[in-house]
Chain A
Amino acid sequence: MSKYYQPEIETASREQIRQWQDERLVQQVRHVWDNVPYYRAKMEEKGVTPDDIKSVDDLHKLPFLTKADLREAYPYGLMGVPVEECVRIQSTSGTTGKRVVAFYTQGDIDLWEDCCARAIVAVGGTKEDVCHVSYGYGLFTGGAGLHGGSHKVGCLTLPMSSGNTDRQLQFMEDLGSTIICCTPSYAAYLAESIHERGLQDKIHLKAGIFGAEAWSENMRRDIEQKLGLKAYDIYGLTEISGPGVSFECEAQTGMHINEDHFIAEIIDPDTGEVLPEGTKGELVFTCITKKAFPLLRYRTRDICVLTREPCPCGRTHVKMSKPMGRSDDMLIIRGVNVFPSQIETVLLQQGYPANYQIIVDRVNNSDTLEVLVEMTPENFSDSLGDITAKEKLLVAELKSMLGLHAKVKLVAPKTITRSEGKAVRIIDNRKI
């Protein structure tokens, strides 16, 4: 019973990891140059060719990619192989109306699922386990990733997705789930439900793999205490595959980034300068193995610290801290990425002014989103029915854009608070 899914990779020497990275980076840059005109143009603009990239030391010469590039290249502009070689997409929110679409060949899926399998084995998972996957299934990478990883490990995989608490708890009890994978706030919610129904003695979870949103040490202890399991962190983003880009081991002093697939850098978000190890800055990833959506120097907007100090678990891959914040204004609400600019787009489309305010809170372990919208003469009438119908349409359009329900509150002009002349757009009352 191995404590690593791929021991020879996960405990490889630093020299071996570096060699893989050097070789694969060179190949990947050539692959992108030959197949992704959009990125080739960026390289040419910077005066860089594949011949200039001989090792990881030359990585800093390559141009960055951001969410704005993904929006501009939507949908097929950053694809590295023809459509007939792709077997899947996964998708997540973009900054306005355009979603991010990531492509995968079968080989890319295998690599991604290997990464998730590493995470499951790291928490003690084996084929004797019953892996309860309550991340959302579908376009969201959470469900698909952990599902695939669970298959690779050989666990009995329960493709629960989220929602339907009765069914979650029924299977958890009847089938004896031992590992749970879901967002931390959903875990807290399930824990409450278990306690309400007095099912503590009927549930035998030993470990949980939680991610897709920010969660604190306090929340970790709370979930561990309530569910009687050990709670582990996992990190990823759709653009770079999905969950499993990095994962926590039993030491729980950071998440190991799968360096045989992803080269990590920390940069200054304002200057783009690469910062030394141990410095806080924006996390940037270069994908060196996947082919269908091979992003180089992709800026995640997550702020964190990297460390290479030896880990007691024996894994040699670099560790990242939990993200400490964002270098943009993205929010994660109920596990969904929300950009204020998306809300602005919908408001303007519906004839409301872009003077809005977003209030995020957490009630009963679930995130809530309320949007304060200014009433205008055009949207007002003497008919309550008409006003309500317009309001409902706005709620529906927001749901369509964001993928989650936002409460709309109509307010009079000049109600929205200003701080030193600038409107306060986001009020986040959650104490994570």
Chain B
Amino acid sequence: MSIKQISVFLENRTGQLAEITGLLADNNIDLRAISIAETSDYGVLRMITDDADSASAVLLENGHIISMNQVTVVAVEDQPGGLSNLLSIIARSDISIDYMYSLFTKKVGTAYMVFRVSSGSKFANLLQAHGMRGVTAEELGIK
């Protein structure tokens, strides 16, 4: 149960973010999660939209450099300790987290965390062993 994430190369130049989000808006694509990793010279924009294939097509048509990856979205309780419990479980395993960020939801009481990990399948097994699982695209209402 993994979700498609699009990464976009961000040159260190004003207007890049406005341009990219503008393209999505013009094509009626909704952003569900967004994260930026930067160096002093450039950045990588990671996002989850409600239509990954359309979003990637639009970005490619407009000359952007992108990469499509699978990530795991996990629901945690939206209260103190909700995230740290899950992170402790992961820390006790041999799975490493490449990066993580949060995803917007209107569901009260639940927070969604996006994970890119060293092994997607091992992570799925780990979650299952603890009565958890990755959220599906249908459940998030995205393609």
Give A contacts to B, CB under 8 Å. 375-377, 380-384, 387-388, 409-415
Contacts and interface: CB of A to CB of B under 8 A. Distances in A.
A383 B11 CA distance: 15
B44 interface: yes
Given A377-B65, A413-B65, A383 B39 contact: no
Q: Which of B5, B11, B13, B98 counts the most chain A CB atoms within 10 A?
A: B11
30 contacts: A375-B42, A377-B65, A377-B66, A380-B7, A380-B65, A381-B67, A381-B69, A382-B5, A382-B44, A382-B67, A382-B116, A384-B37, A384-B39, A384-B44, A387-B42, A388-B39, A409-B41, A409-B42, A410-B9, A410-B11, A410-B41, A410-B42, A411-B11, A411-B42, A412-B9, A412-B11, A412-B65, A413-B63, A414-B63, A415-B11
A412 B63 contact: yes
Nearest to A376: B65
Nearest to A411: B11
A384 B11 CA distance: 13
Contacts of A376: 65
B143 interface: no
Closest 4 CB pairs of A and B: A382-B7, A412-B11, A384-B37, A382-B69
A383 B46 CA distance: 10
Contact residues of A: prevailing secondary structure: loop
Interface in B29-81: 37, 39, 41-42, 44, 46, 63-67, 69
B44 A387 contact: yes
Contacts of A388: 39
Interface string B95-139: 000100000000000000000100000000000000000000000
A388 B37 CA distance: 12
Contacts of B67: 377, 380-382
Contacts of B41: 409-410
A357 B36 CA distance: 27
Given A376-B65, A411-B11, A415-B13, 18 more contacts: A375-B11, A375-B65, A377-B65, A380-B66, A380-B67, A381-B69, A382-B7, A382-B69, A382-B116, A384-B37, A388-B39, A409-B41, A410-B11, A410-B42, A412-B13, A412-B64, A413-B63, A413-B65
A383 B66 CA distance: 12
A355 to B, nearest CB: 13
A414 B65 CA distance: 11
Q: Which applies to chain B's interface (DSSP): helix, strand, loop or mixed?
A: strand
Nearest to B116: A382
Contacts of A384: 37, 39, 44
- B interface residue count range (under 10 / 10 to 19 / 20 to 34 / 35 or more): 20 to 34
A85 B41 CA distance: 52
Nearest to A379: B65
A382 B16 CA distance: 17
A380 B66 CA distance: 7
A290 to B, nearest CB: 47
Question: Considering residues B41, B63, B98, which has the most beta carbons from chain A within 10 angstroms of its beta carbon?
Answer: B41
Contacts of B5: 382
Given A375-B9, A388-B39, A410-B42, A383 B65 contact: no
A382 B42 CA distance: 13
Given A375-B9, A388-B39, A382 B46 contact: yes
A386 B46 CA distance: 15
A383 B98 contact: yes
Interface string B1-36: 000010101010100100000000000000000000
Given A375-B65, A388-B39, A414-B63, A380 B11 contact: no
A380 B42 CA distance: 12
Nearest to B46: A382
Nearest to A374: B65
A80 B33 CA distance: 70
Contacts of A409: 41-42
A413 B37 CA distance: 20
B55 to A, nearest CB: 14
A415 B16 CA distance: 12
Contacts of A412: 9, 11, 13, 16, 63-65
B63 to A, nearest CB: 6
Contacts of A413: 63, 65
A412 to B, nearest CB: 4
A319 to B, nearest CB: 47
Contacts of B65: 375-377, 380, 412-413
Contacts of A377: 65-67
Nearest to A382: B7
Nearest to A413: B63
Most chain B CB inside 10 Å of its own CB: which residue of A387, A388, A415: A387
A411 B66 CA distance: 13
Contacts of B66: 377, 380
B9 A380 contact: yes
Contacts of B46: 382
